[in-house]
Structure 1
């Protein structure tokens, strides 16, 4: 299975890392929610060492709720209780040295040990109470635990409109938003880079009701007031490489 994933690379902008991957995860019931955002507004929240990436002159912010399963370190068996979790990512799209990737504002998860471990690796994880209910549609509720008064919340209901799935066409907005294989994060004055790999996303049209989304309250309410662009994927197996230092931020 992993060999087949590693051999499927034509959809990537750049090669996979030469070093071995260290972790694998399966991402399920992934809802991609995106709003266009003025570039100058995002610039205030993204480190200056990273260039804001745009599509037709627009920057974008994404919120991705999903279920994580079959988490395992390469060569090791699954760890009971810690091999699954629920997660919501808030991200935007950037470039560094001409390569496109992702910058995360936050990653909410419902396993405290995983949150603390990821923070040690420089990723901005947040401890949250998260629930998912799967019936004729999917109900997803995330409430951040770190604020006792007025905690950040994400709540949505969504349902794929078809059982047919297809890959996004290169050059389209969907492909630009979703096919991302590198991330950057900053701790102190150090820039870190992380890489992932998987097969192209299989996407389905989806109907989604976004009931509350205060995870992006660092932006003004009017910034994301338009209807979002939404996509759905049933499942994706991902391979993950360790974060590594790639430079220092000059002040």
Structure 2
């Protein structure tokens, strides 16, 4: 789900070293719930028998919900800045915060399918942030220029130990489908100070991508701050 937003309001939410990216003069904020499946470090084969170890399966497959916006760094490269990150695994939340400073928060997240309707719901473990989103799936679409601009981002920026980091991400383009909102109840945008966005301007669904590769993060600059 994507909303148009005032670039100045979004810029105020970014750390030093990043500039809000705009399309036709508007910033965009995206609420993106999905499922991470079969997460594995380098060297672990893709067909590892996860089902033999239920505890491992719970850690390596989990829902995630990110609230994101679109940015450029000092060299003009585009990417993502996460305004909030929720994940269903406390262990992964701790690991990602420690590794790259990604501000993951553990929560109770769920995904349910009922025919052509998909429902995502979640709330944080120690925070009143919550959401419940249901969409009815439609036909596959050929993405427009704007939809490519929103969904084809191959870098994520974080701040860790006073340093601005960039983490390259590789995967095939997201296949997109039409989607119609059946239910939307969420306070994630309000909790970061964007209280009056209204109904989303764009809604899509994706059947997902395979073989997502997260590369080693690199330091871009030091002595950056987060508002």
TM-score w.r.t. the length of structure 2 is: 0.87
Q: For the residues of structure 1 that align with 2:183 and 2:201, how far apart are their CA atoms? A: 9
How many equivalent pairs are there?
Answer: 211
Match of residue 120 from structure 2? 140
Q: Which of 54, 60, 66 does residue 89 from structure 1 map onto?
A: 66
Question: Following TM superposition, by how much is the alpha carbon of 1:167 offset from its aligned partner in structure 2, in angstroms?
Answer: 4.6
Q: For the residues of structure 2 that align with 1:98 and 1:244, how far apart are their CA atoms? A: 16
Question: Following TM superposition, by how much is the alpha carbon of 1:47 offset from its aligned partner in structure 2, in angstroms?
Answer: 1.1
Match of residue 107 from structure 2? 128
Match of residue 185 from structure 1? 158
Contact 1:49 1:249 in 2 (8 A): no
Q: For the residues of structure 1 that align with 2:78 and 2:185, how far apart are their CA atoms? A: 30
Q: For the residues of structure 1 that align with 2:59 and 2:224, how far apart are their CA atoms? A: 38
Question: Following TM superposition, by how much is the alpha carbon of 1:208 offset from its aligned partner in structure 2, in angstroms?
Answer: 1.8
Give unpaired runs (5+ residues) of structure 1.
1-32
Tell me the alpha carbon deviations over residues 219-240 of structure 1, each in whole angstroms, 9 at most, x when there is no partner.
2421x11433111111112111
Is it true that 1:233 corresponds to 2:223 in the alignment? no
Is it true that 1:74 corresponds to 2:42 in the alignment? yes
Match of residue 53 from structure 2? none
Name segments (4+ residues, structure 1) moved above 6 Å: none
Is it true that 1:114 corresponds to 2:92 in the alignment? yes
SS in 2 for 1:81: helix
Question: Following TM superposition, by how much is the alpha carbon of 1:209 offset from its aligned partner in structure 2, in angstroms?
Answer: 3.2
Q: For the residues of structure 2 that align with 1:156 and 1:166, how far apart are their CA atoms? A: 21
Give unpaired runs (5+ residues) of structure 2.
51-55
SS in 2 for 1:75: coil
Question: Following TM superposition, by how much is the alpha carbon of 1:85 offset from its aligned partner in structure 2, in angstroms?
Answer: 0.1
Q: For the residues of structure 2 that align with 1:249 and 1:37, how far apart are their CA atoms? A: 28
Structure of greater relative contact order (alpha carbons < 8 Å, 6+ residues apart): 1
Question: Following TM superposition, by how much is the alpha carbon of 1:213 offset from its aligned partner in structure 2, in angstroms?
Answer: 1.5
Q: For the residues of structure 2 that align with 1:240 and 1:129, how far apart are their CA atoms? A: 25
RMSD of aligned Cα (Å): 1.6
Contact 1:167 1:201 in 2 (8 A): no
Is it true that 1:219 corresponds to 2:193 in the alignment? yes
Contact 1:34 1:229 in 2 (8 A): yes
Question: Following TM superposition, by how much is the alpha carbon of 1:250 offset from its aligned partner in structure 2, in angstroms?
Answer: 5.6
Q: Aligned ranges for residues 1-251 of structure 1 at < 5 Å?
A: 33-76=1-44, 77=48, 78=50, 79-96=56-73, 97-121=75-99, 122-136=101-115, 137-147=117-127, 151-162=128-139, 165-169=140-144, 172-216=145-189, 217-222=191-196, 224-237=197-210, 238-249=212-223
